[in-house]
Amino acid sequence: MADDLPRSNVSAITRERAERIARAHACENCGEYSYKRVIVKPATDQNRTELNEVWHAIMVCGVCGMQTELGIDAEGDVVYAT
């Protein structure tokens, strides 16, 4: 629809796009991309300010079961992974 949104708009990337980025990130433990659960939610105000994070993803690996957390910024880059 509207392609003329200002670049500073915080919804520059959608939740769907953030989820795709999260799923494209290999498991930090085993290197697989098979997640059994991916939850993407808006970053807290604190994380938004301190880490420049817009979306916060929590993923559970379907292979080794490790939980990974990702911060994704407004341009779709992963700012950290734990």
- The residue ranges that bind Zn ion (CB under 5 A) are 27, 29-30, 61, 63-64, 66
CB of 34 to Zn ion, least distance (A): 8
Spatial neighbors of 39 by CB under 8 A, at least 6 apart, are: 57, 58, 59
* Nearer to Zn ion (CB atom), residue 36 or residue 41: 36
CB of 27 to Zn ion, least distance (A): 3
Q: Are 72 and 55 in contact (CB under 8 A)?
A: yes
* Nearer to Zn ion (CB atom), residue 13 or residue 22: 22
CB of 31 to Zn ion, least distance (A): 7
Cα distances (angstroms) measured from residue 48 to each of 3, 35, 37: 24, 25, 23
Query: How far is 72 from 76, CA to CA, in rounded Å?
Result: 6
* Nearer to Zn ion (CB atom), residue 43 or residue 61: 61
